[in-house]
Structure 1
Amino acid sequence: MYETICSPMKLGSVELKNRILFAPTTLGVSGEKYLERMEGIAAGGCAMIVVGDVPVGKSAFGPSLYSKKGMAFYTKLAERVHRHGCLLCAQLHQSDSDIKGMLPYLPAVLAKRMTADELRQKLNEKIGAYISQMPLKEVRATTKAFGEAAVLAKEAGFDVVQVHGDRMCGSFASSLFNHREDAYGGTLKKRARFLLEAVSAVRKALPEMPIDVKLAVRMEHPAYGKAGFTVEELETVVPLLERAGADSFHVTLANHSSLTDTIPPKDHPAFGAEGCFLFLADAVRKYTKLPICGVGGLSSPDFVEEQLAKGRIQMAAMSRQLLADPAWVQKTAAGKTEDIRKCVRCNRDCLGGLQRHEGTHCIYERSGKK
């Protein structure tokens, strides 16, 4: 009944055992708890886990590929995920947050007079000036670092690399943020150069490594998202990314606005329906034959099978649904879809839990429902 969901597919030089991926997700837990949750998701049957926000340089936030401790952590993660025939993808990214610009707000955050989301919005307001004034030498060193990080990711046991097309890549891409007047700003091709160089750096460093590109698309009418490319710009950008070395595209709405836009609840005014971002995948499909991964509130096996079977997308990425029920793939493959704990997209304990600094969880955990 769910032949396409359960069918394998090639992604560059690797093979996915089925078409379901765990989308990059900040879990808000660390150490053994993080490893246990990731292994639980892998054991549930998904084909690949995308580990979000793996920094391309040394970082004090989370595990780093550039430290012995961080490498040991990622190596252990790869071993535990691979036990279950699940692949592991490193989402390489460079933050576009002005860390020094954050310092004036820390007292308010520590005193709980400012929420984490309010701090995020303050930092978003500084992005334009931050990337527009970044020294050229630093820009080039950063794009080069994507290749260096990819080599380390492979050493740690990652099977695939995803270049995060949002964050700094997306901010350089966006005319709303990028006001540079050099080779990295102005025209569309110049704004795209940062992302293109990042992809090329990975391809040059690892010719056989599968490269997925998280392609962030922003909307203008109505306005949703601030980074990334507009739908009209995809005609130029997608072929350039192919030539730079992309093997596939993970297409979603651009960030840097409300988190409930990119992680929309059921009652979102524009993105309340299942498959809410697949129209962006449709826009990318016009300009490429490479595999596309679709996202956006996916949860129904029947709906996902239909999108895959008709070739609208080749992979489906889920986050909240696999948090609600890591065994979604196993239950679907066994024809026991009535036993799936369906995500209701309430955002109460997933996004809400993260914002409350309690970690990303699910209402089913508290209810004890099996």
Structure 2
Amino acid sequence: MPNAPFYPRLFAPLTLGGFEIRNRIASTGHQTFLAENNLPGGALVAYHEARARGGAGLIITEAARFHESAFAAPRELHLVEDSAIPAYARLAKVVQGHGARIIGQLSHSGRVSHRMREGHRGVAFAPSPVPDRRYQTVPRQMSTELIEELVSTIGTGAQRYAEAGYDGVELMASHGLLFAQFLNPDANRRTDAYGGTLDNRMRFLCESLAEVRRKIRIGMVIGLRISAEDFEADGTEPDVIESACSYLAKTGAIDYLNVTAGSMAGLGGSIHVVPPMEIASAYLASHAGRLRAATSLPILVAGRINQPQEAEQVLAGNYADICGMTRAMITDPELASKARSGRGESIKACIGCNQACIGHLHKGVGISCIQSPLSGREARFAPALAEPARIPGRILVVGGGPAGMRAAVTAAQRGHNVLLMEAAPMLGGQALLAQRLPERAEFGGLITNLEMELASANVEIRMRQFVDRAMIEAEAPDALILATGARPAPLEIEIEDDRSPVLAVEVLQGTAQVRGRVVIADWRCDWVGIGTAAHLAAKGHHVRLAVDGVCAGQNLPTYVRDYWAGRLHALGVEVIPYARAFGMDADTAYFSQSVTGAPILFEGVDDLVISGPYLPDTRLEDTLSGLNIRISRAGDCLSPRTAEEAVYEGFLAGLEA
């Protein structure tokens, strides 16, 4: 097939080693937690198959542990026995059957691990016993014998990939993991042949690469994933990375570089492991270009490349040869085929929220996407979604927030005639508030994407439409889906001197003004309190964020929470944890310590802002007793939570309609 005229560089084939990749779009290795008994099973195969079928040129499967000293999480991949080969071979055959190439990662976390097994912490191994600042792990220094054993087993792991039919093997020297620890003089303080000079610090990696080369078949490629910059005070310096990569290129040890950034070894660099919407798109292009110039190797670069036009620009600038568009294809597995055929406007764009991709990993559950509930659940739901409704009917959806929008789209995709009614003048519900938060405007893409899908599915929409029982009876739908959302709960705060607290939502919407010194009572421990604090601090207010939890952003994805802890500090926001609001008077806000009940007084307060709970809006539901119509519910009208639950429950309601 000729190159797509829309993105000529992105869809030009690339020869890598002994094979050709059909385009420059890659799904880079990322933990999915879809493994079954530490092997690729039906869920993982279906997940990668969707992206290969959707047109990706290269699939890099997630880090497989090649030695028992690296075992940590129960749902990670292992590649330590020959009996594993058939499971990997099945995955390779399916991916290659759709025209994509497949490369497998091998990794060891070293000190960057809890190593939790059966409820207790195991022993972590590293170049030196240098404590880790993220997990508070003190590793045991690896013996020479253990290093030699790891070199041997990594070669055996690569051989198993070869026997499974993979096209290549990628070692991970990125994100502060074991190979990166050996390269870093702050983590590697050995005085033997594996420490000291850069040549010595590279020895473990060089020996491992040589052993991999010896064990794989001719034509397979060897890649190295590496962080061009750790963004950590004690991370590996960029010039060290450049020197190491240049040496490996000159010696022919590797066939390509997979360039990323960040480190899992600290709280500062971790945001770059999976950069969210707060980080600029394609921001690592210049880093990749520097390594491309230093090595003359084919370069794969990742880091917030979410749109085909962004990838095309990276390639046009000669920064890289392949673009990692991993989260973009978690959201829309058909991104490549849509871009190639000129259907770019139908691509459902990743919004960089990190809630169900890396956020699920940190919860220990399988990967998904808040916008695309099918992602990661292909084996479970794809057959039902593809099957038309046996009896197409008229479906009425009440509520145009994320839950109602997703329910309407899904029901229409199954062949139903769908009517969506919304009382407000705009679709989006609580997502309209979320996009007003500082540095979170991209969250509005959730609404934009759903509106695009509604139009594509030919859903009838009626705005500014208040729905009551009589209207439902007049419409006479075959099924009713309620997605009526939630309302702020009544304030339970003692007020004196005619003072009145302000709701955080009113501040963000611009419908309420506050004066100089502000205390925010943050019951939610989510984006709203943090965002309101950042918004007011940026406007010059003195802000204290009193959190009824252990920390600000307690309920946010880990990496993003840590990022915002730094941002609040830079903005001068004082964070007070374990603080529960109970009253205010002329110039004092009264809180209690959440554990002991001891009083906490904030004096000299001009305004108190409340980020409090919401209650399900059941006003319509409460009037429908005895209505002879099948009713489903989704989202905040069941219980106020996040957009992820709303979209997922809307998906289920539409699927079951």
Equivalence map 1:193-232=2 (5 Å): 193-206=203-216, 207-219=218-230, 223-224=231-232, 229-232=236-239
Match 1:165 to one of 169, 173, 190: 173
Q: 1:183 aligns with which of 188, 193, 216?
A: 193
Is the helix fraction higher in 1 or 2?
1
Q: Secondary structure at the match of 2:104?
A: strand
Retained in 2: the 8 A contact 1:225–1:257? Answer: no
Q: Deviations over 1:302-334 (max 9, x none)?
A: 121121123211000122111000111001001
Corresponding residue of 1:324: 331
Other structure's SS at 1:34 match? helix
- Return the offset for 1:107: 5.8
- Equivalent pairs counted in the alignment come to 346
In the aligned structure 2, how far is the partner of 1:26 from the partner of 1:225? 26
Deviates more, 1:255-264 or 1:188-197: 255-264
Structure-1 separation of matches of 2:324 and 2:357: 16
User: How far apart, in 1, do the equivalents of 2:154 and 2:81 lie?
Assistant: 16
SS of alignment partner, residue 330 of structure 1 = helix
Could you tell me which residue of structure 1 aligns to residue 23 of structure 2?
18
Paired with 1:120 and 1:37, the residues of 2 have a C-alpha distance of 34
Deviation larger for 199-208 or 246-255: 199-208
AA matched with 2:213:
R
TM-aligned CA deviation for residue 143 of structure 1: 2.0
What is the letter of the counterpart of residue 6 of structure 1?
F
Letter in 1 for 2:18: S
Alignment of 1:275-314 (within 5 A): 275-314=282-321
What CA distance in whole angstroms lies between the structure 2 residues aligned with 1:339 and 1:251? Answer: 29
For residues 323-357 of structure 1, give each alpha carbon's deviation from its aligned partner in whole angstroms, at most 9, with x where no partner exists.
Answer: 00011100100111110000010112212222223
1:192 counterpart = 2:202: yes
- 1:95: which partner in 2? 109
1:79 maps to which of 87, 93, 97? 93
Conserved? CA contact 2:15–2:21, under 8 Å: yes
What residue identity is the alignment partner of 2:172?
H
Aligned residue among 276, 279, 290 for 1:265: 276
Shift of 1:199: 1.3
Q: In the alignment, does 2:159 pair up with 1:151?
A: yes
Q: Which residue of 2 aligns with 1:339?
A: 346
Question: Quick one: distance in 2 between partners of 1:54 and 1:337?
Answer: 34
1:104 Cα deviation from its structure 2 partner: 10
CA offset at residue 73 of structure 1?
A: 1.3
Distance 2:297 2:355 in 1: 36
The question of whether the paired residues in 1 share the 8 Å contact of 2:331 and 2:348 is answered with yes
From the superposition, tell whether residues 39 and 120 of structure 1 become closer, same or farther in structure 2 (CA, over 3 Å).
farther
RMSD (Å), alpha carbons:
2.5
Note the C-alpha offset of 1:2.
0.5
For the pair 1:250 / 2:255, whether they are aligned, the reply is no
Q: Contact (CA 8 Å) 2:66, 2:153: kept in 1 or not?
A: yes
Q: Where does 1:232-247 land on structure 2 (aligned, <5 Å)?
A: 232-242=239-249, 243-247=251-255
Q: By how many angstroms is 1:216 displaced?
A: 2.2
Match of 1:2 among 7, 17, 21: 7
Higher normalized contact order (CA 8 Å, seq sep 6+, divided by chain length): 1
Residues 300 and 196 of structure 1: CA distance in aligned 2, closer, same or farther (over 3 Å):
same
Q: Structure 2 length normalisation: TM-score? A: 0.50
1:46 and 2:46 matched: no
- Segments of 5+ residues of structure 1 without an aligned counterpart are 109-118
Secondary structure of residue in 2 paired with 1:178: coil
When residues 102 and 8 of structure 1 are mapped into structure 2, their CA distance, relative to the original with a 3 A threshold, is closer
SS in 2 for 1:6: coil
CA contact under 8 A between 1:173 and 1:194: conserved in structure 2?
A: no
For residue 60 of structure 2, give the secondary structure of its aligned residue in structure 1.
Answer: strand
Specify the code of the residue in structure 2 equivalent to 1:161.
V
Matched to 1:257, the amino acid is G
SS at match of 1:189: helix
Q: Secondary structure at the match of 1:306?
A: helix
SS at match of 2:45: helix
Q: Which amino acid aligns with 2:55?
A: G
Given that residues 24 and 51 in structure 1 are in contact (C-alpha distance below 8 angstroms), is that contact kept between their aligned partners in structure 2? Answer: yes
On the 8 A contact 2:18/2:219 being kept in 1, the answer is yes
- Aligned partners of 2:200 and 2:19: how far apart in 1? 32
Contact 2:262 2:272 in 1 (8 A): no
